[in-house]
Every structure is written in structure tokens, then in C-alpha cells.
Amino acid sequence: MSLGLPDVIVRWICAFLRERRQRVKIGDVLSDWLQLSAGMPQGSYLGPLTFVILTDALQPGCMTHKYVDDTTMTEVLGRSAASSMQSFVDQLVQQATDAGMIVNGRKTKELLIGPVLKNPPPSVRLSGMPVDRVTVFKLLGVHVASDLKWSQHVDAITSKAAARLHFLKQLKHGVRLLSLALKSHCRADEGTGVTAAHSTGHHL
């Protein structure tokens, strides 16, 4: 309702999600019906929309960027300023819990950039567990380094390009072998056909 959606749309989505059931079929055997308390039908057009609405509730007190199920929190610190990132993370965890979501600690990383590296703040903790502090992090396909250099991203891209070029070369070589095999097979069939025709004609 906070997004300004008409009441009829809200009630329509709720009716679509409530009292859903599912069962499993293996061969001719069907399981009992199971009442669902969460989830979205796979392939539904409402899936991405409702997930965006769900993640919109994640609004900690710092600059936040969201892309599907990825959330990036950013804090800009002045000289000798104390970090408030821990409180922002606590806010995010609480908001996610209130919305029925869980923050994946294994995929959560902390990256420091700039002068703060000389006097780093304490590591951020997520639900009591320390968050891994890294020097490079892949964000939406881009390798962001703490020194803001592009060398590691360029290395990763060139390595991926080299692997794909190697695959194309192997594919080209395979296509050439397949083409030669097909030509040889066709010639063998043609020779067999001629022999069979002569044989048949001879018997006639």
C-alpha cells in the first residue's frame, strides 16, 4: 500500500498467492496435496514484480543500490570520521527479517576503498558473524578492486575471451572433421547404391 497501488490490485495479488497447493507426480503416482505458506509460482509474470516490491522495504540509513537479489550498501567517510556501517547492516538485517527474508552471510563481502585502508575500521559483523573483508569483489560482472585499478578485471575478461576463442577453434576443427566424415559417408552410400542397382539389374 505504501507504493500507492490501487486496493483492487493489492487484493488481486493476495488472492493469487493465498491458499496455493502443490503435489508431486512420479509416473502414475501422485502425492498428497501440500498447502503452501510461501513462494511464488515459477515462471509467473508476477514473480519479478512482487520480489521488487519485497526488496523495496530494505532501506537502511546509507546509500543503497539494488539489482534483483543483490544489495550494495555504500558509506563515504571523511577524514578521521567513525564508520556507521555496522548499524546500517543491523538495520538491513532487521528489515529483511521483518519482510520474511534472510541475508546470505556467505555471499556478503566488505570492500574498503581509498584512504580508509590506512586506518581501517573494525570488520562488519552479520548476525554476530564477521563479514569477509576482500580486496576485489565482482559486482554485476565488474571486478571492483580496493585500489580502483582495472588490472584484475581486464585479466578476468581476457582469460574468459581466450577460453571462448579456444572453444570456437575446437568447434571449427570439430565441424571440419564432421564435414569430412559426412562427405565420406555420403560417398560410401553412393557407391553402395550403384552396386546395389547393378546387382538388382543383373538379377532382373
What pLDDT shows up at residue 56? 84
SS (H, E, C) the chain: CCCCCCHHHHHHHHHHHCCCEECCEECCEECCCEECCCCCCCCCCHHHHHHHHHHCCCCCCCEEEEECCEEEEECCCCCCCCCCHHHHHHHHHHHHHHCCCCCCHHHCEEECCHHHHCCCCCCCEECCEECEEECEEEECCEEEECCCCCHHHHHHHHHHHHHHHHHHHHHHHHHHHHHHHHHHHHHHHHHHHHHHHHHHHHHC
What pLDDT shows up at residue 204? 33
Instruction: Let me know: does 77 contact 50? Beta carbons within 8 Å.
Output: no
What pLDDT shows up at residue 115? 86
Helices 46-55 + 7-17 axis angle, to 10: 110
The amino acid that residue 66 corresponds to is K
Report the distance separating Cα 69 and Cα 75, nearest Å: 20
Report the distance separating Cα 138 and Cα 142, nearest Å: 5
Instruction: Let me know: does 85 contact 79? Beta carbons within 8 Å.
Output: no
Report the distance separating Cα 13 and Cα 20, nearest Å: 12
What pLDDT shows up at residue 184? 62
What pLDDT shows up at residue 73? 92
- pLDDT tens string, the chain, 204 residues long: the values are 567 788 888 888 888 888 888 899 999 999 999 988 777 777 788 888 888 888 888 889 999 988 888 899 999 988 888 899 999 999 999 999 888 888 988 899 999 998 888 888 888 999 888 999 999 988 888 999 998 899 989 999 999 898 888 887 877 776 666 666 666 655 554 444 433 333 333 333
| Total length of the chain | 204
What pLDDT shows up at residue 85? 93
What pLDDT shows up at residue 101? 85
User: What's the whole-model pTM score?
Assistant: 0.66
What pLDDT shows up at residue 20? 86
